Chain A
Amino acid sequence: MRTPPKAEKLALKTRAGEIILDSRKVAFLPECQTLLVADMHFEKGSYLREFGRSVLPAFDTQDTIERLRVIADDYRPKRIIALGDSFHDMRADERLSPQAAAQLNALSGDACEFIWVLGNHDPDIPSAVTGGREDHVQAGGFLLTHHPYECPDGVNICGHYHPKAKISSRLGSVSAPCFAVSEAGIILPSFGTFTGGLYVSDPAFTDAMPNIQSVVVAYKHRIFQIKAR
């Protein structure tokens, strides 16, 4: 087995302070030792099996938790904040396996607090899962939410849109998930294993972030900041 290359990170200076963007599609706030992850969509696979009536393999929850665990081991944060849509649907708690709930709960403990910011997919978090439930969290100059908010002086960090970008050149083009960055906000890529993306050039996305400055593209273990055109 080849060892995977080390995940690349990019430190971004914002008017609210520094933020680390990680090629594994998470962000880290060094000042308050907080790990941020958005749109995990746990139990989307089982949702599609049950309600989409398909024989899809539902290994996505397991995979998403496992990837998050590796990242948490790496940062050893004081807080992990999930920026909403962590669970795919309201009835995810009926399908979440006890093992998965235990693995999730093991991520937090005395040294690390877990906070669930509630999203449109998950106004409720399954009761088997520990951690705080919040509508939003203020972390220094950073306002952490699910949907984007106006943040006149600070920086809003949110999820919801699953941004991805297409970068073209003479050789061809590459599509990959990205962080969308403007002066007043950063939209995180979706983290869930079975989640798709929305191009930042899509009108629905442009409405959400009209003043986009750059995209920070996560491709394999690398990360690239590219100016928005």
Chain B
Amino acid sequence: MLDTVTQTKRLSAGKVPGEFERWFERQGWAIRDYQRQMVGAFARREDTLLIAPTGGGKTLAGFLPSLIDLSQKQTGAGAKLHTLYISPLRALTNDIERNLNRPVAEMGLPITIGVRTGDTKSYQRTKQRKTPPNILLTTPESLMLLLSYPDAADYFADLQTVIVDELHSFATNKRGDFTSLALARLKTLAPGHIRFGLSATIADAQAAAKWLGPTDAPAKIIEVRGDASPKLSIMQTEARYPLGGHNPRFAVKDIYAAIKKAKSSIVFVNTRAQTELLFQQLWQINDDNLSIGLYHGSLSRERRQKTESLIAQGKLRAVVSTSALEMGIDWGDVDFILQVGAPKGVSRLLQRIGRSNHRMDEPSEAVLVPCNPLEAVECAVAMDAIDAGQRDGEDYTEGAMDVAVQYIVNRACAGKFKKRETLSEIRSAWPYRNLSKSDFDLLVGFAQDGGYALKAYDRFSRLKSTSRGYEISSPQQARRHRMNIGTIVEYAKLRVRRFPNMKSKRFRNIGEIEERFVMGIAPGDSFVFGGEVLRYHGIRDMALEASPMPKKTPPKVPAFAGGVMPLSTFLAGGVRRLISQPAGWSRLPAQIQDWLALQAQFSQLPKSEGVLAEGFFDRGVHVIVIHSFEGRKVNMALGLLMTRRMEMRGLKPLTYSITDYALTITSIEPVNQVADLMSEDILSDEYERWVSEAPMVKRSFRKIATIAGLTEQRLPGAKRTMKQVTFSTDLIYDVLLKYDPDHILLRIAREEAERDLLDIPRLRRWLSDVQGEITYKILPHASPLSIPSMMQLGKETLVGEAKMAILEGAAHEDMADMRLETVRDFVNENATKG
């Protein structure tokens, strides 16, 4: 039974014209119930959220009403935009274009389709603005850009439908806030259009429907459940699991064997660096010369598109990929998915599994390859959750204020606005339904001239206020804004130029690499990029120059930003439950069971209530590991506050590092009890003082300053590097704190640090829950459970005095050296005299 549709009451089917019925028949498809219901929703002008499994014709269901409507209309010259499709990924828009063009061509429909993303060439953009296609496929950023032009009102005037694809990926982040504001604007410009949302995995359909509809008018929901649940297993391996880290090397032979057995597979890893690493490892044992590719967002557009089309044509046996291939794209023949590393979330895992066997009635097949014991436990928990039909909860939050500032400026670029109207427009976006008038005034004040308490002696303002409303102060200002639209703050990147050899003058751009990585390598060093080993020549014109390295020296792997994927809270809780209950361990690989048994013998297992902390000496420093299983945000906040108290107690903390499961703190002095360090009053005593000084708030401020338009990533003409941005925003933060401590941006930065980097409310609840149930084991050595957490080498955060200690250490060694040199000088002088 496929079309199990819930909430069928008023969602009757719409009429599908004969030519469409016949086209479906020719494909050997039957039009599904919910596809007809979407046609009905279109006719009734109802905002609708469609939740259906991957491979069920969900995207077609979104477009079908538009195709039918357009086929019956007089299109051609003078026609305006009819349907706008918003996708989170550029790659997805190209894929959708291919898939839509087929029915349009085969039925001979007079419908034009266009793609508008950051990759679109400027002549195409110009053409699109003059003659809009009937259907435009775009990303949130490109949409916002279109909305910033004065002709936006005319451009979108005839809009009938907006389709938001992969809705779950927008719902709970700044990019989602940004998208919701763009949707609100569209509603003002074309009040008659409706919104369709599409998603395969949503835990809280009601909340998502509220997000999709305007405030107080949630979208209708059509939910379809597929029957075939995926076939999942953890990879069986003879190899020994590494105790920590995320390196799949131990299982690379098994991974290779699995690829060889399958027709075509996608190997998902969690970071860009891991794609390069695993690709190298696979290539080294590729004795059968299987065609294996790699794919991640830092590769050049040409390279990505080439890989995409190779997969689509079934010419690759396997592709090693990041989440960049995770969404929507229909890769015909992929029959096997490998997930290397922890899944990090149930929905994410389902999404990835959904890439194989794109037919709803057959089960997808996937094998999970955990790379350390805790990842193995996480895999088992995720598999159980999928069997039980459970999903991660999404965390719907209030709309971000820095995004609202960007929106206000965007609005001003398109023409004069009145504050009252814009406030109600912003509030019609569901995340911003609670925006207060006073906060809105502060945001407009900031957008205008910074809104500082101390008025500077200058004439500059970004918005001009006239009796008829606010508008942008100059065309340069509008240009500056347009170049900085978006919510993703990127690290400075360098293009990678590949020369065929060291002497050659010709090169190709093969992608982008982070500036940070380049600082750590010297000319002559080798590194992997795009699946090959390159020799680093040097940097010229903001580009890194390199050529293939003939010898196979152990290369460095570039670090890419955004490597850490947060673990869903839902999974974190599951991991703790499974570990605490040996009865459930049978699902785990034997090695992992042994590891847990060893933990029970040597120390103890964490219980389902309270918290286990362990203390021991390791390489001359004292280590505490707190197994909270509460996720990174709680561990980060706890780390900041605990190290602070440790400093006050004279315990000389040095560093702390976090994982999803545990907090690790090193100190010079041994810690004999932790109850005082973890008492609830660390939140009252230390919190206030910490908040204004915390590096986390500065980190938030950096992003906010960019999104709100205080500093920019790209200036017209000159490309500013992130290094400068980073530096100056820290300085700006210090100055603001000193001279205008109540400024709106500081408030936003604090709120955001608390929300995104440190979950204070959750820490508060957790601390209160564990009081009286804190078990502290003092051990002669690191326990099995502590080892994975301690393996976060080089990822520690230094605590206050540790930086002094580094400088002191360096200075002391040198004082000794310099003294000795002075002695030598004396001796030499005496020798020459003598």
Contacts and interface: CB of A to CB of B under 8 A. Distances in A.
Interface of A: 45-46, 49-50, 52-60, 62-63, 95-97, 100, 167-169, 171-174, 176, 193-194, 196-197, 214, 217, 219-220, 222, 224-227
A174 B731 contact: no
A194 B733 CA distance: 11
Given A193-B735, A196-B728, A219 B814 contact: no
Contacts of A171: 654-655, 796, 798, 802, 805-806
B458 A46 contact: yes
B818 interface: yes
A224 B810 CA distance: 8
B757 interface: no
Nearest to A169: B806
Given A57-B736, A219-B807, A225-B811, A49 B655 contact: no
A100 B457 CA distance: 10
A145 to B, nearest CB: 26
24 contacts: A46-B457, A50-B459, A52-B715, A54-B462, A54-B710, A55-B449, A55-B460, A55-B462, A56-B450, A56-B732, A57-B450, A57-B739, A58-B456, A59-B740, A63-B738, A63-B739, A100-B457, A167-B806, A168-B806, A171-B806, A173-B806, A193-B731, A224-B810, A225-B811
A120 to B, nearest CB: 19
Contacts of A226: 807, 810-811, 814
A220 B818 CA distance: 24
A214 B806 contact: no
Given A171-B655, A174-B806, 12 more contacts: A46-B456, A49-B456, A50-B459, A55-B460, A57-B739, A58-B458, A169-B809, A174-B798, A219-B807, A222-B807, A226-B814, A227-B818
Q: Which 3 A-B pairs have the closest CB atoms?
A: A55-B450, A97-B457, A224-B811
Contacts, number: 128
A52 B724 CA distance: 14
Nearest to B456: A58
Nearest to A10: B811
A172 B806 CA distance: 8
A170 B127 CA distance: 57
B811 A57 contact: no
A168 B519 CA distance: 13
Contacts of A50: 458-460
Interface of B: 446-450, 452, 454, 456-462, 474, 476-477, 480, 654-655, 709-712, 715, 724, 727-728, 731-732, 735-736, 738-740, 743, 794, 796, 798, 802-811, 814-815, 817-818
Contacts of B732: 56-57, 194
A146 to B, nearest CB: 22
B454 A54 contact: no
A194 B728 contact: yes
A49 B460 contact: yes
B458 A167 contact: no
B803 A57 contact: no
Contact of A169 (B458, B477, B810): B810
A139 B6 CA distance: 88
A196 B743 CA distance: 24
B735 A227 contact: no
Contacts of B474: 53
Contacts of A59: 452, 454, 456, 735-736, 738-740
A56 B457 contact: no
A129 B217 CA distance: 63
A56 B458 CA distance: 11
A167 B810 contact: yes
Nearest to A100: B457
B83 to A, nearest CB: 36
Contacts of B803: 172, 174, 219
A225 B808 CA distance: 9
B807 A174 contact: yes
B817 A227 contact: yes
A224 B739 contact: no
B492 to A, nearest CB: 14
Contacts of A220: 804
Contacts of A56: 450, 710-711, 732
A85 B619 CA distance: 49
A194 B731 contact: yes
B727 A196 contact: yes
A63 B449 contact: no
